[in-house]
Chain A
């Protein structure tokens, strides 16, 4: 392609980008900028007009700084553990589900609709349903586990500190696996069928087909799905809020931010915490993208 043509393409690219960028800047720019700004002040919700610039006090200050708040670090730990477990499980399960749906069968439509149900139910409702099902006294899960002899006595799924985070992960995986499954399915369906034709003609066994042909071709789609799931998992809020409230064992960074902003009315500290969360997520994202890019470069070679 000639240089002149390329320059024209680049010009057209910017024109095509303009609508989306304008909308995003207008809608996201102000709120985000404001949040970062407030992180440097001591604004509080009950006296919003009278705030003062306090520099980095909210981050590394002697009193009330994030660096010294053990609650913040605990929440950070919970969030990272949760995100890692959750996304890993969802990807594996989502892949399995997508493969099952992709398999031609009269059940396909029904399967696809059924699989979407967890994602479709509002989180606050599904978290409540699970809370109810996992109840130690009259929950159906404990009831059946005891009946089947798998456990001796009902477990306190959401109260026991050693179990609660894991329970939250399970409930979240149940809810968001459809998201992964649907995106991976889309990727599977965009693989040109002649690839499979060629493999069949050559007599390549199905497992080889899967690992050598399918996976690499759907890898970019899976990667994007994982990326967004990771972003969401790092910002997890609803399921923890509904199931275990403010318990320190399961508090995530988003819950910490909300606590600061709304329960404690500390706009300054809360905004600083939100910005800190942003940096945590940005860091994870950059690491992830770097890793993914390297893997794909290896895969191409």
Chain B
């Protein structure tokens, strides 16, 4: 009986969730197809749709190159974060040693400073390493944002994995790296995918560091490119182009999610541990 109640509630609630999540984007897309005065009317229907905004975007700026840059930086940051964090998570999540708590808090403290305050120190560091105006600068800068988060999440999930797995591995004489990467990692797949996705998006949308550490158009990433999208005058918000840019930027992320869905499901079946 009770199960039916949940089942009937499911569809309306799911529909509401989809509507609430997607409506602003749909509205934005409708806006991106409008021109001139139509922008100021609160209608969803577009009288005279035009793709002019999208064309302008690629013509005016090297948007394609910006997309590539963002992809490289984000992928690099995620790969590095997850690798480093997985190792650290085993140590912090499954080994009891003195100073563990303090260490966790210290790692967390990197996330407690507002980005803008860390900016000038970061800028100095980047210039000292000779990485100014290169993607490498963003790689290290974004690590400050993603590392504490990936470490903490993976520690939490890693510590919940059953002891038996580890004991069995030790019985079989497996080394540490095999243990972590061949045995624990598949078990943690849902957590890794979720964390990886969130870290990817965080790095993808990071604006302040990207604005400050790159200056040539070829090195810029997508959020900065969006900020540079220009209108006809100093005050006009170029809605059309802005929305076009947002749509282009959001789609790869959505595609990523859909792709990784399958891996989460696969991880589920691999993750069931009996006994």
A and B touch in the complex (CB under 8 A): yes
A residues near B, CB below 8 A?
9-10, 12-14, 16-17, 19-21, 23-24, 26-28, 30-35, 96-97, 100, 103, 105, 107-126, 128-130, 132-133, 138-140, 143, 174, 178-179, 182-183, 185-187, 189-190, 192-194, 205-207, 220-221, 223-224, 227-228, 231, 235, 237-238, 253-254, 257-258, 261-262, 267, 270-271, 274-275, 277-278, 281-282, 285-286
| A residues in contact with B51, CB < 8 Å | none
From A183, A190, A282, name the one whose CB has the most chain B CB atoms within 10 angstroms: A190
B residues near A, CB below 8 A?
2-3, 6, 10, 13-14, 17-18, 20-22, 24-25, 27-28, 31, 40-42, 44, 80, 84-85, 87-88, 90-92, 95, 97, 103, 105, 107-122, 124-125, 140-141, 143-144, 147-149, 151-153, 156-157, 159-160, 176, 180, 190-191, 193-195, 197-198, 201, 205, 207, 222-223, 226-227, 237, 239, 242-243, 245-246, 249-250, 253-254, 257-258, 261, 264, 267-268, 271-274
Is the CB–CB distance between B114 and A124 below 8 Å? no
Shortest distance in angstroms between B41's beta carbon and chain A's nearest beta carbon? Answer: 6
Partner of B156, one of A35, A221, A231, A262: A221
Q: Who on chain A is nearest to B113 by CB?
A: A278
User: What are 13 inter-chain pairs, A to B, with CB distance below 8 A?
Assistant: A16-B88, A28-B110, A105-B10, A108-B261, A112-B257, A115-B21, A118-B21, A122-B223, A124-B223, A183-B153, A186-B193, A231-B111, A275-B117
Which 10 A-B pairs have CB atoms at the shortest separation, nearest pair first? Answer: A31-B121, A274-B117, A13-B91, A186-B194, A34-B121, A13-B95, A20-B88, A20-B84, A120-B253, A281-B112
Q: How far is the CA of A124 from the CA of B44 in the complex (A)?
A: 22
Is the CB–CB distance between A16 and B87 below 8 Å? yes
Is the CB–CB distance between A116 and B10 below 8 Å? no
Is the CB–CB distance between B207 and A124 below 8 Å? yes
Q: How far is the CA of A270 from the CA of B109 in the complex (A)?
A: 19
Partner of A120, one of B90, B111, B180, B250: B250
Is the CB–CB distance between B194 and A9 below 8 Å? no
| A residues in contact with B268, CB < 8 Å | 189
| A residues in contact with B258, CB < 8 Å | 109, 112-113
Is the CB–CB distance between B254 and A116 below 8 Å? yes
Shortest distance in angstroms between B242's beta carbon and chain A's nearest beta carbon? Answer: 7
Partner of A258, one of B116, B157, B239: B116
Partner of B109, one of A207, A277, A282: A282
Evaluate whether A278 and B264 lie within 8 angstroms (CB atoms) in the complex, with A12-B176, A130-B24 already known: no
Partner of A117, one of B84, B118, B122, B250: B250
From B42, B103, B148, B180, name the one whose CB has the most chain A CB atoms within 10 angstroms: B42
Q: How far is the CA of A54 from the CA of B5 in the complex (A)?
A: 66
Is the CB–CB distance between B14 and A100 below 8 Å? yes
Q: Who on chain B is nearest to A277 by CB?
A: B114
Is the CB–CB distance between A139 and B42 below 8 Å? yes
Is the CB–CB distance between B125 and A27 below 8 Å? yes
Is the CB–CB distance between A100 and B87 below 8 Å? no
| B residues in contact with A132, CB < 8 Å | 31, 239
From B180, B250, B254, B274, name the one whose CB has the most chain A CB atoms within 10 angstroms: B250
